[in-house]
Amino acid sequence: MNFKFIQNMPSFSVIAFRLVLPLEPLLYLMPFYALFYFSVWQGIETAKWKRLIHEKAIEKEDLIRRNDDLKIGIVSYTSAERIEALYRRTYQYLPISLGNRIITIELPAEPKAVKKEPF
C-alpha cells in the first residue's frame, strides 16, 4: 500500500483556505461597497424615481386640462345657437328650412321613487 501518497495530501481546510485566499481583499472592501450602495446608489435611485413621478404628475395635469378643454369644446359646439351659426356661415346665410331647424327641448326631472321599508 502506498501510504506516502495519503500523508503528502493536504487537508481539506488547507485546500479551502487556498481557494478563499484570493477573495481576501473583498472581505476588507465589503464595508466600503455597503456604504456606497446604501448612501450613494440608493440616493441616485430615489432621485430618479422622484423625477419620474414628477414628470408623470405634470403629464397627468396636462391631460386633465386637455380633457376639460375638450369637454368645454363639446358643450359649446353642441349648443343649438352655435350649430345654427355654423350652418349660416357655411351656407352663406341661406335661410334655414323648416326641416333643418334645431329645436332644444328641456325635459322635466324624473320623479324619485319612494323606497318602502318592510314592516
Task: Quick: pLDDT tens for 21-31.
Answer: 888 888 888 88
Residue recorded with cell 441616485: 44
Cβ-contact 100, 84 below 8 angstroms: no
Does residue 4 have a pLDDT over 60? no
**Residue 101 confidence class, pLDDT cut points 50, 70, 90:** low
Q: Which long-range contacts (CB under 8 A, 24 or more apart) does 49-55 make?
A: none
Helix (H) or strand (E) holding 26: helix 24-35
Predicted local distance difference test score (pLDDT) of residue 45: 92
**Residue 95 confidence class, pLDDT cut points 50, 70, 90:** low
